Amino acid sequence: GAVVSQHPSRVICKSGTSVKIECRSLDFQATTMFWYRQFPKQSLMLMATSNEGSKATYEQGVEKDKFLINHASLTLSTLTVTSAHPEDSSFYICSARPLRIGLAGAGPRETQYFGPGTRLLVL
Amino acid sequence: GQNIDQPTEMTATEGAIVQINCTYQTSGFNGLFWYQQHAGEAPTFLSYNVLDGLEEKGRFSSFLSRSKGYSYLLLKELQMKDSASYLCAVFDSNYQLIWGAGTKLIIKP
C-alpha cells in the first residue's frame, strides 16, 4: 500500500519551454500533496503544499507564477514549471499524505509517501 | 529558528551496527520521522516516533527523547544495500515537516 507514482521520471527540455509533472497516489486518496525540490547532495526543499480543490500554499521564495500547481482530485496533483531555465534543473519529488489511516505497512496518518521523483534538465 | 542536526556522513562495516543521531530544535513537536533515500531515488518511510522510547522494526530501531530533543536510528546486521542517506524530519507545532540535511551512510565489505 501507499504507492505514489510520478510521470515523467526524466525530462530534458529547451530553455523557455514549460514542463508538466504528474503525481498520483495509486492505492489511496490523499488529502494533501507536497512538492519538493532537491539539488545534488542537499536535503529536500519544500516548494508548496496543495490540498484538493484549493489553491496551493507556496514556501517563501518559490514563485507561484513559475511553478503552477493544480490539485484536481484526491489522487492527482500536477506541477508545471513554466518558462524553464537551466537553473530550474533539479530533482522534483512529490509526496502524498493519506486521507485515512490503516494502509498496509504504513506509518501514522501524518506520514508522507513519496513518488519516485522527476529529474529535470533544462538546456 | 528551526534546526535539525545530523552527521553529514558515516562509514560502517557490513554485518556491524551503526547509530545515526539526530538532534532538533523546533517550535513545538508532533512526531519525528526517519526516511531512507538511495542515491537518485525518492525517500522511503522507515519509522515514526511521537512518544519517548525505542521502536523496533526488524533490523532497524528508532529512539526518541523529547526532553533532550534527540533521536537515533539504529541499524543492525548491516548489509551493502543499506548504503543510503538517512533523513530525520520533525513535525513542528503546525504539523509542518522540518527536514534534516541527511546522513550519508557508507557500508564497506
Q: Which tens digits make up the pLDDT trace of A42-81?
A: 888 999 999 888 889 999 999 999 999 998 888 999 999 9
Measured between alpha carbons, how far apart are the two ends of chain A, in Å? Answer: 37
**Per-residue model confidence (pLDDT) at position A1:** 67
- What's chain B's average pLDDT? 93
Residue of A7, A103, A110, A113 to mutate for B, most B C-beta atoms under 10 A: A110
- pLDDT for residue B84 is more than 90: yes
- pLDDT for residue A101 is more than 60: no
Neighbours of A120 (CB within 10 A): 20
Q: Does the distance separating the beta carbons of A46 and B48 come in below 8 Å?
A: no
Amino acid occupying residue A67 = F
Task: Write out chain A residues lying below 8 Å of B101, CB-based.
Answer: 42-43
Answer positive or negative: Cα dihedral of A25, A28, A31, A37.
Answer: negative
pLDDT digits (tens, 9 = 90+) for A24-48: 999 888 888 999 999 887 888 999 9
